Structure 1
Amino acid sequence: MRVVRICLLLQQLSVLALAALTGSATLSNFSSLVIFGDSYTDDGIHAYTPEPDANLTTDSPDGGRPWSEYIQQYTGVKLYDYAVSGAVCDAVFSPSVRSGVKQNQVPQFLADQAYGGNASLVDAADETIYAIWIGTNDLGPGKSHRKTVSDAASPIVDYIHCIYEQLDVLYAAGARNFVLLNIAPLNFAPMYALAENGGVIDSHYWLNEDQYSTNVTLVSEKMREYVALVNQVYDYQSPFQILVSDRYPASTFTIYNVHDLLSDIWHNPSDYLNGTVPYNVTSYITACGSACDSDAVRDSYMWYDSLHPSEQTDRILAREFVNMVDGNGTWSQTWTSPSASS
Structure 2
Amino acid sequence: MKLTAASCLLLSLYTNATPTPPNCKHDGRTFNWRTTKSVIAFGDSYTYIQGTLGRTNYTYIGDNFDISFTPEKLFASRIVQNQTATAEGGPNWLEFLTGCGVDPGQHDTRKCEIQLWDFAYAGANTVSQANFTPPHWNHTVSYERQIQQFVDYGNPVLEGIHLKKENALVAIWIGINDINDLAKLRGINATFAPFYEQVQRKVFKGVEKIYNLGYRNFLFMNLPPLDRSPSPSVSASMISAFNNIHTAHAEAFQNKHRESTVLKFDVNYVLNNILDNYQDYGFQNITTNCPGYNQPDIRTDPKKYGCGEGLHTYFWYDSGHLGSRTHEVFTQKLAKWLMKQG
TM-score (norm 1): 0.71
User: Is the aligned partner of 1:162 residue 2:202?
Assistant: yes
User: Is the aligned partner of 1:316 residue 2:336?
Assistant: no
Q: Deviation string for 1:294-315 (max 9, x for gaps)?
A: 4862111101100000010111
Residue 145 of structure 1, CA deviation:
2.6
SS in 2 for 1:144: helix
Select 2:183's aligned residue among 138, 144, 148.
144
- Aligned partner letter, 2:125: V
Select 1:69's aligned residue among 85, 95, 100.
95
Select 2:217's aligned residue among 165, 170, 177.
177
Give 5+ residue unaligned stretches, structure 1.
1-10, 193-218, 329-333, 335-342
Change (3 A) 1:25 1:265: farther
Change (3 A) 1:126 1:76: same
Q: Alignment length, in residue pairs?
A: 275
SS in 2 for 1:270: helix
Partner of residue 156, structure 2:
114
- For the 8 Å contact 1:144–1:155, the answer to whether it is kept is no
Alpha-carbon distance between aligned partners in 1 of 2:282 and 2:150, rounded to the nearest angstrom: 35
| Identical counterparts, % of pairs | 20
Q: Deviation string for 1:285-332 (max 9, x for gaps)?
A: 23578795348621111011000000101112332232222217xxxx
Listed as ranges, the matches of 1:125-144 within 5 Å are 125-141=165-181, 143-144=182-183
Change (3 A) 1:79 1:255: same
- Aligned partner letter, 1:178: F
Residue 249 of structure 1, CA deviation:
3.7
SS in 2 for 1:284: coil
Listed as ranges, the matches of 1:147-296 within 5 Å are 147=186, 155-192=195-232, 219=233, 222-243=234-255, 247-273=256-282, 279-286=284-291, 292-294=298-300
Residue 112 of structure 1, CA deviation:
1.9
Q: CA RMSD in A?
A: 3.3
Q: Deviation string for 1:129-161 (max 9, x for gaps)?
A: 0010011100113x23324699xxx92221111
Partner of residue 197, structure 1:
none
- For the 8 Å contact 1:50–1:119, the answer to whether it is kept is no
Change (3 A) 1:251 1:147: closer
Change (3 A) 1:13 1:293: closer
Residue 67 of structure 1, CA deviation:
1.7
- For the 8 Å contact 1:27–1:126, the answer to whether it is kept is no
Q: Which has the larger radius of gyration?
A: 1
- For the 8 Å contact 1:89–1:163, the answer to whether it is kept is yes
Residue 57 of structure 1, CA deviation:
4.4
Partner of residue 89, structure 1:
126
Partner of residue 144, structure 2:
102
TM-score (norm 2): 0.71
Alpha-carbon distance between aligned partners in 2 of 1:255 and 1:170, rounded to the nearest angstrom: 17
- Aligned partner letter, 1:99: V
- Aligned partner letter, 2:72: P
Alpha-carbon distance between aligned partners in 2 of 1:112 and 1:288, rounded to the nearest angstrom: 34
SS in 1 for 2:163: coil
Select 2:117's aligned residue among 54, 72, 80.
80
- Aligned partner letter, 2:25: T
